[in-house]
């Protein structure tokens, strides 16, 4: 952190009172945040990396997405599943922050917390350690119901759907974009006004989806029941982040949900999520300046997986894919669906790096490759026999590409007990070095198991 050259000046508030505000001089950056992002189609093991970094963090943040995300953390053989809560909350010394870019289904939030509290002591006192931005939008039950109807309509009209989680994420971001959504500040400030706006929004959805079943009064009663419990958590997120960034030195960690190739702008559209899950979403989802972004860690699975439909150039619809799926236990934390599996795709990863500017990578689930005598890596795409120099935006083109592979020797050795890079088999070391050299990004961690201690740190 740079030396503080700030001054304090009274700033008038709308009610006429004044409060001290920090005015920063040029060049004073303050604390920087460390960001963890998925670099493929999700399910890379971000929760495990966040858990590792959160052990000495002060604040852990979620900046986008909702409970369509699924992060798994294993501590002392206990497996915790997080969807809305930042997974770093498992550290009892961490303050967890859900930013304005996150969409929140309150029943889902409390159900998730209670489910994880029953598993162990890690979430004790979680309500006193959670802060929610007052600008975060609320997911209602009718958003979730509408999500399911939209999927049915796509299936009937187009013969395929997007494979959403049906958690209402797309509909609530649509409400946000159309300026008809409701936020946490609305819920906790004036419930009568909130109720009137809720009814208007619910009726809009009923007009769009006549078959939509909803209990307006029942849901309002349920939401009112959450107010006293959630109100102490709700704060102005912009001021919270400003104080965290420009107060005493703090370690601030940002936990991205979903992944680069699911980003609404840069992912394999339209088979994407509804938020920006690349590095730009950190600033807009937390209300912080870009100069406070520090290290950006990309999480990469040692092979590639995807849930649902959409182009997947290195997919293996064969025995190899079956082995990866079985050994990797590739089932979605949120959806319970089997993940499609294939070889590592360096074209995809280079594209993700262009957008995010990764400072280092975590390479996870290397141990899943232990049984292969040879391992292939996608290094280029060709279209009609010609190498294309970019990752295609158009899904039809991406579906048509052929993949040029590099084949490396496997190691046929159990790597799960290795705790240093040197303890890995030579061919496993070669695989890691090849990826690092081709991408031009240092690999900082290698995952070789599910538990907290099965992560090799290289530097």
Q: Mean of the pLDDT values across residues 124-151?
A: 93
Q: In angstroms, rounded to a whole number, what is the distance separating the alpha carbons of residues 46 and 51?
A: 8
pLDDT at 23 over 60: no
Q: State residue 329's pLDDT score.
A: 93
Q: In angstroms, rounded to a whole number, what is the distance separating the alpha carbons of residues 155 and 87?
A: 34
The reported pTM is 0.90
Among residues of the chain, what percentage have pLDDT more than 90?
A: 77
Pair 444, 297: CB distance under 8 Å: yes
137 is in an annotated binding site: no
Q: State residue 166's pLDDT score.
A: 78
Query: Choosing from 43, 51, 263, 345, which is the catalytic residue?
Result: 43
Q: State residue 290's pLDDT score.
A: 97
Active site residue 81: no
115 is in an annotated binding site: no
pLDDT at 148 over 90: no
pLDDT at 89 over 80: yes
Query: Choosing from 71, 167, 242, 444, which is the catalytic residue?
Result: 71
350 is in an annotated binding site: no
Query: Choosing from 143, 167, 176, 353, which is the catalytic residue?
Result: 176
Q: State residue 162's pLDDT score.
A: 65
Tell me the per-residue pLDDT of 333-350, one tens digit each, with 9 for 90 and over. 666 789 999 999 999 999
197 is in an annotated binding site: no
Q: Mean of the pLDDT values across residues 169-173?
A: 94
Q: State residue 337's pLDDT score.
A: 80
Q: Mean of the pLDDT values across residues 427-444?
A: 98
Reported as a pLDDT band with limits 50, 70 and 90, residue 20 is: very low
pLDDT at 70 over 90: no
Q: State residue 11's pLDDT score.
A: 40
Q: Which of 16-30, 40-54, 179-193, 304-318 has the lowest mean pLDDT?
A: 16-30
Q: Mean of the pLDDT values across residues 92-113?
A: 95
Active site residue 43: yes
335 is in an annotated binding site: yes
Tell me the per-residue pLDDT of 223-260, one tens digit each, with 9 for 90 and over. 999 999 999 999 999 999 999 999 999 999 999 999 99
Q: State residue 224's pLDDT score.
A: 97
Active site residue 128: no
Q: State residue 4's pLDDT score.
A: 39
pLDDT at 450 over 90: no
């Amino acid at each position: 952190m740079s030396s503080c050259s700030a001054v304090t000046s009274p700033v008038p508030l709308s009610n006429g009172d004044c409060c001290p505000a920090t005015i920063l001089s040029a060049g004073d950056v303050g604390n920087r945040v460390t960001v963890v992002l998925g670099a493929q189609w999700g399910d890379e093991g971000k929760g495990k990396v966040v858990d590792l970094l959160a052990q000495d963090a002060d604040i852990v943040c979620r900046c986008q997405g909702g409970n369509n995300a699924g992060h798994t953390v294993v501590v002392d053989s206990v497996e915790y599943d997080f969807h809305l809560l930042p997974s770093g909350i498992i550290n009892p010394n961490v303050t967890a922050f859900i930013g304005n870019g996150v969409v929140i289904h309150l029943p889902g939030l409390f159900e998730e917390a209670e489910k994880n509290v029953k598993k162990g002591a890690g979430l004790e006192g979680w309500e006193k350690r959670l802060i929610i931005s007052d600008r975060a939008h609320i997911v209602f039950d009718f958003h979730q119901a509408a999500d399911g109807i939209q999927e049915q309509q796509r299936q009937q009209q187009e013969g395929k759907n997007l494979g959403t989680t049906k958690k209402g994420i797309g509909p609530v971001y649509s409400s946000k974009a159309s300026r008809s959504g409701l936020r946490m500040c609305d819920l906790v400030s004036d419930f009568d006004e909130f109720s009137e706006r809720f009814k208007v929004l619910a009726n809009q959805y009923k007009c769009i989806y006549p078959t939509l079943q909803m209990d307006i009064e029942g849901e309002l009663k349920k939401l009112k029941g959450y107010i006293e419990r959630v109100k102490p958590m709700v704060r102005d997120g912009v001021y919270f982040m400003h104080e965290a960034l420009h107060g005493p030195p703090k370690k601030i960690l940002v936990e991205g949900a979903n992944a680069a190739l699911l980003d609404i702008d840069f992912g394999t559209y339209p088979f994407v999520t509804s938020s920006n899950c690349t590095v730009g979403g950190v600033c807009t989802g937390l209300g912080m300046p870009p100069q406070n972004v520090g290290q950006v860690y990309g999480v990469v699975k040692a092979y590639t997986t995807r849930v649902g439909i959409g182009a997947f150039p290195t997919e293996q619809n064969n025995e190899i894919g079956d082995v990866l799926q079985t050994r990797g236990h590739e089932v979605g934390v949120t959806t319970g669906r089997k993940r499609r599996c294939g070889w590592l795709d360096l074209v995809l990863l280079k594209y993700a790096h262009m957008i995010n500017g990764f400072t280092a990578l975590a390479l996870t689930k290397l141990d899943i490759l232990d049984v292969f005598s040879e391992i292939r890596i996608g290094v280029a795409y060709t279209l009609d026999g010609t190498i294309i120099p970019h990752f295609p935006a158009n899904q039809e083109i991406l579906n048509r590409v052929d993949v040029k592979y590099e084949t490396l020797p496997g190691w046929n050795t159990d790597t799960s007990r290795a705790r240093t890079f040197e303890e890995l088999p030579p061919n496993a070391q070669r695989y890691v070095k090849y990826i690092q050299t081709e991408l031009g990004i240092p690999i900082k961690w290698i995952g070789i198991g599910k538990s907290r201690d099965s992560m090799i740190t290289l530097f």
